[in-house]
Structure 1
Amino acid sequence: MSHASIKVLATGGTIAGQAGSATRRDYRPGQIDIATFLAALAELGVAAHLTGDQVANIDSANIGPDIWRQLHEGALAAITDPTCDAVIITHGTDTAEETAFLLDLTLPTTKPVVLVGAMRAADAVGSDGLRNFANAVVVASDPDAAGRGVLLVMGDQVLAARDARKARTTGSNAFEGFPRGAVALATPASLDWLQPPWRLDEPARYAFPDDFAEVPILHAYAGMGADSVTRLVEAGARGIVLAGMGDGNAPDTVRKALADAASKGVLVVRATRVDEGLVDRDPEDEANGFVAARALGPAKARILLQVLIANGVTDPALVQAAFSRR
């Protein structure tokens, strides 16, 4: 039986981090290069042919459009290469959900694309990096991983990019999926899909942005005033994502300021600062020109809005349809 040929695009993060001590809590992410990492993995006898490219070696808090573009180009090249079966991206966990979702929106689903990270540095007691990566290899090697969009593998769970979010600051169970939980369970020796593929042979939904529009996230809080909105509009925001109270709420003065912004062509999306839950359309949304984020949290709502603006989708009704799509 031949082994899968997998391209690994490395960006650093905790999975490539070191503390210099097995028991220190603090560490420096992005210290190990991909060649060293793959050499350590080879000693585990992982059944795949892995080749690596070092796209970056950073703390994922520092990721942005330039590295995203390199990842998109590298992943697309691998997907269109007939000798390559799948793509794995090593990534820091702080912004993994944003990178995964951006690629999910802008890559075809014909081959598996899997993001993987770690919550403990490579030299820490109980480091989870190699196990998570071995799990990612199992997932990426399975042809059934295609047709599911970009996947995120963490802590023996496989999450869809649209659902995945970092729900805890520490611990191997830091990631969860909403509204779906895990779409599969993986170990270095097994893989169990919990549902069939939902995006078989789908082309990229959107073109990768040539430019990322200014779309700030406005965090709602008790006592906030309308000036928090007007400052963003005056600074040139093309869109605003409200991380609202409850199911996307804000004080009346703020809601009015957002409606004024929407009337001037600023796209306004109501998301929630709450950890989990749907933000459905409000009876006043149509009159106000607002979009309900549905299941997307503020960070991913911002990514989708930037992609839509770059693709010329600016009618609130069409933007709403994109947010409602699974």
Structure 2
Amino acid sequence: MTTRLTVLATGGTIAGIAGSAIAKDYRAGEIGIDAYLEDVGDLGLEAELSGRQIANIDSADIGPQVWAPLHAAILEALADESCQGVIVTHGTDTLEETAFLLDLTLPATKPVVLVGAMRPADAVGYDGLRNFANAVRVASDPQAAGRGVLVVMGDRVFAARDVRKVRTRGAEAFRGFPRESLGLVSPAALEWFGAPWREGAAARFAWANELPEVAVIHAHAGLTGAAVERMVGTGARGVVMAGVGEGNFPEDVRAALRRMRQRGVFVVRASRAEEGLVDREPDDDSNGFVAARALNPQKARLLLQVLIANEVTDLAAIQRAFDGN
């Protein structure tokens, strides 16, 4: 029986055009979903694809205005008994953030796969069609369900909680941390490295159309507490410090963050290192800080936003949520 998949398009490089096979610059989000699926039809994929355009923009511009209709469209597709899985085409710059937010707020009942490309559609070596064919292979596999939201890039399958963009160029631009890829995929084959861990699980958190403001501050040598106070401002409910090393920052900054915490602002210590694991330190209890564990700053921000929106404000509960990722 042919697998029926819903494809939701948001734009990005996978739908981009350069106007030349060798041009450096290009315009993201130029190809509509109908035209894209017409091109994909020539690949002979063993799936029936129906498409819907949610947005057609550079992923640098993606945020709540796209996330809300995208989330609603995915829920609608998951509720359709004739739909076996969902594919979301997305730009690579913020792909990991959209994937993680969806992973936090969607049930793990059917495959949901995000896919992008590092080269525009008319470039030499366009990787989008292969990545898309791989995504179809993954979304068509019943074993893809129960693994949370997945990302397919460069013949690898990543979990949303682990995936991160690590290069600005080249087709192999994504890696997973602390867990590497979940499987290897080609248009003809798929090999999983382990069993599903969320089979049939409901969404972990309720969707919130409005997310509270959480600032991300990048630590650096010479950073002062006064500068952090100015950058965070007065409206933020939380701040993620992308600290040096294992979530460290100058003592002057630590004092400023303690003052913020006393005013009710949540503080998460993350790392600016590409593979940064941040454990709790002895002073976190007295300071009221949370350790991001394996989440990078941008994902730590999203998790904190979702937790606050879901009225999870107990520090121990917030830390358990970070520990669980």
Q: Does the alignment reach a TM-score above 0.5?
A: yes
Q: What residue is the counterpart of 2:56 in the other structure?
A: 57
SS at match of 1:119: coil
Partners of 1:210 and 1:310 within 8 A in 2: no
1:107-160 alpha-carbon deviations (Å, 9 max, x no partner): 000000000000000000000000000000000000000000000000000000
Cα distance per residue 1:282-316 (max 9 Å; x no partner): 11001000000000000100010100010001111
Deviation string, structure 1 residues 49-76 (Cα, Å, up to 9, x no partner): 0000000000000001011011100001
Structure 1 equivalent of residue 127 of structure 2: 128
Contact 2:86/2:139, CA 8 A, preserved across alignment: yes
- Percentage of matched positions with identical amino acids: 61
Task: Report the Cα offset of residue 99 of structure 1.
Answer: 0.1
Structure 2 residue aligned with 1:82: 81
Q: Find the aligned partners of 1:209 and 1:220 in 2 and give their Cα distance.
A: 29
Give the aligned residue type for 1:64. G
- Give the drift of 1:231: 2.0
Q: Return the alpha-carbon distance in structure 2 between the equivalents of residues 169 and 75 of structure 1.
A: 29
Name the aligned partner's letter for residue 183 of structure 2.
Answer: A
Is 1:38 matched up with 2:45?
no
Name the CA distance, whole Å, in 2 between partners of 1:91 and 1:233.
29
| 1:284 alignment partner AA | D
- Is the partner of 1:271 in helix, strand or coil? strand
1:223 aligns with 2:205: no
Q: Give 2:141's aligned amino acid.
A: D
Aligned to 1:105: 104
CA distance in 2, matches of 1:317, 1:229: 25
Matches within 5 A, 1:195-274: 195-274=194-273
Cα pair 1:109 1:199 within 8 Å, conserved: yes
Give 1:234 shift.
3.7
How far apart, CA to CA, are the structure 2 residues paired with 1:79 and 1:301?
27
Distance in structure 2 (CA, Å) of the matches to 1:235 and 1:94: 28
CA distance in 2, matches of 1:92, 1:116: 8
Quote the offset at 1:166 in angstroms: 0.3
Is the 1:22–1:123 contact (alpha carbons within 8 Å) kept by the matching residues of 2? yes
What is the distance in 2 between the residues matched to 1:270 and 1:324?
Answer: 13
Cα distance in structure 1, aligned partners of 2:177 and 2:253: 28
Q: Which structure 1 residue ranges, 4+ long, deviate > 6 Å from structure 2?
A: none
Cα distance per residue 1:70-89 (max 9 Å; x no partner): 11000011111111110000
Q: Which residue number corresponds to residue 154 of structure 2?
A: 155
Q: Partners in 2 of 1:189 and 1:275 — Cα distance?
A: 32
- SS of structure 2 residue aligned to 1:216: strand
8 Å contact from structure 2 (residues 99, 114) kept in 1: yes
Structure 2 distance, partners of 1:234, 1:270, is 18
Q: Provide the secondary structure at the position in 2 that maps to 1:43.
A: helix
Instruction: Judge conservation of contact 1:5–1:86 (CA < 8 Å) in 2.
Output: yes
* Alignment check: 8 A CA contact 1:233 1:261 kept: no
CA–CA distance in structure 2, aligned partners of residues 113 and 69 of structure 1 = 16
What is aligned with 2:314? 315
Given residue 15 of structure 2, which amino acid in structure 1 is its aligned partner?
A: A
Note the alpha carbon deviations across 1:178-197, whole angstroms, 9 max, x for none: 01101010000000000110
Work out whether 1:68 is the aligned partner of 2:67. Answer: yes
How many Å separate the matches in 2 of 1:163 and 1:278?
12
Q: Which amino acid letter does the alignment assign opposite residue 207 of structure 1? A: A
**How far 1:236 moved relative to its partner?**
1.2
What do the CA deviations read for 1:160-190 (whole angstroms, capped 9, x no partner)?
0000000111111100000110101000000
Separation in structure 2 between the aligned mates of residue 144 and residue 233 of structure 1, nearest angstrom: 43
118-127 vs 221-230, greater mean Cα deviation = 221-230
Amino acid in the other structure paired with 2:322 = F
Aligned to 1:170: 169
Three-state SS of the structure 2 residue aligned to 1:308 is: helix
Aligned 8 A contact 2:284 2:290 in 1: yes
Aligned length in residues? 325
RMSD over aligned Cα, in angstroms? 0.8
Q: Deviations over 1:3-61 (max 9, x none)?
A: 11100000000000000000001100000001111111110101100000000000000
Secondary structure of residue in 1 paired with 2:7: strand
- Structure 2: which 5+ residue stretches go unaligned? none
Tell me the TM-score normalized by structure 1: 0.99
Question: In the alignment, what sits opposite 2:191?
Answer: 192
Using the size of structure 2 for normalisation, the TM-score is 0.99
- For residue 14 of structure 2, what is the aligned residue in structure 1? 15
| SS of corresponding position for 1:176 | strand
1:310 partner amino acid:
A
Equivalent residue for 1:180? Answer: 179
